[in-house]
Amino acid sequence: MAITKWDPFRDLLNLQNEMTRVFGRAYGENAEGERTWAPPIDIYETADAYKVVAELPGFTPDQVDVTVNEGTLTIKGERKFYEETNEENFHRIERRFGAFQRLVSLPQQVQADKVEAGFENGVLTVSIPKAELVKPRKIEIRAGA
């Protein structure tokens, strides 16, 4: 049986690496430490559909892909860096560039074949119709027996 000497610095370094990884992921870094970005989205429900709204300023509809597959809505695209300007000429770069992908799990009772998407003023709106069985239905009450 081997006895390992306790090394508090090693344990502290492991904790620091784990904290860096967790906070990096929360602030838009992937596993390789590269900064990533994703457009903000809102998800809400109406009586007839679920709505997903994504902010995509500077995009055109042909630069965004929207797909539904196996209960998942995928919104993806890419913001390219300025073509006419060299990165060394910038004083500040706060906007994020590169590919993005947003995945939204859908409820089982949707009509995936009837999903519609619209794009206006840099805002993408995806409408996912509910299946008939989940829509509220008014029941008529008959008088008498």
What are the pLDDT digits (tens) for 61-101?
999 999 999 899 999 999 888 877 777 788 887 888 889 99
Q: Which residues contact 65 (CB under 8 A, 6 or more apart)?
A: 74, 75, 76, 77
Question: pTM for the full model?
Answer: 0.67
Q: Is the pLDDT higher at 5 or at 117?
A: 117
In CATH, the number for domain 37-134 is 2.60.40.790
Domain ranges of the chain: 7-36, 37-134
What pairing do the DSSP bridges indicate for beta strands 116-120 and 41-45?
Answer: unpaired
Tens-place pLDDT, residues 9-64? 667 777 777 777 666 655 555 555 555 789 999 999 998 999 999 999 989 999 99
